[in-house]
Structure 1
Amino acid sequence: MMCALTIGSLLTHLGITAYTKLGETLQLAAVARELAQALRAARNQAALQRQALTVHPLEGDWGKGWRVSQERDGQVLREHRLARPVKVVASSTREVRFSRRGAPVGVGFGGITLNICQRSGPGSQHQVVLSPSGRVSLRSDEGRRCAGD
């Protein structure tokens, strides 16, 4: 009976650990998709409505969320605050600005890469990349290391 209880508790512990890791993996994938979609939507809206838009990280941290606002008057169009903050390592912490034509602008804008990172461990499974041309791509690769670790 004691062996059965020991084996049962061991299996329960392993199951809970795997479930927790799966939950974190799904959350990171969702954050990456939402961030990529927010950048695409801001770019498209800037071009369609012929107004410059800015996407800011909340409190200077992309891992807490982001806000899309009009550059002209600062009016907030959309804000996405993450329920649980995640670790996001960005090649640049500055905001992303889109011109009235939907092109990213800024002094020497060479694109931005946002690595959505695991809390435990140095790996990054998801990466959101905004190229200098304005194309937003979502990349997934378990072997990528988080820059800035």
Structure 2
Amino acid sequence: METKRNRYGALDVFRGMAIVFMIIVNSPGSWSYVFRPLQHAAWHGFTPTDLVFPSFLFAVGAALSFSMNKWANWSNTEVLAKILKRTVLLFLIGYLMYWFPFFRLGQDWSISAFPIAETRIFGVLQRIALAYGLTAVLLHFLGAKQTYLV
């Protein structure tokens, strides 16, 4: 019999809102007439769109703080395996999402494979994965008090 997992409703709602906003930002209808606040700002500016990535990082950090309680009774090997598995899966999912549909259609309707050399290795999900992996390892081995120094 599987044990019941505790879900944090507020965190789930926050993630959902971040995903909805991400969909709105990435699906403007017509790329010719995009509502200005839904575009990324210039280097020196700020728009609501620029909150999507930090929102996901905040959600990952909040979820990580809840996961650490569960890791208290695990061995270092188990914790590192869990962190590595989640980091690699997030990274690969992000990479495959960018690479999908793995082929392209030419002007003459010819189908060719999408070259791996033209894929984006460090997309948003890959960066979230690396931030999660590094933060989780630091928090696990340094503890809460030492991480304030980092």
Q: Fold-level match, TM-score > 0.5? A: no
Give TM-score scaled by structure 2 length. Answer: 0.32
Structure in which a larger fraction of residues adopt helix:
2
TM-score between both structures, scaled by the size of structure 1: 0.33
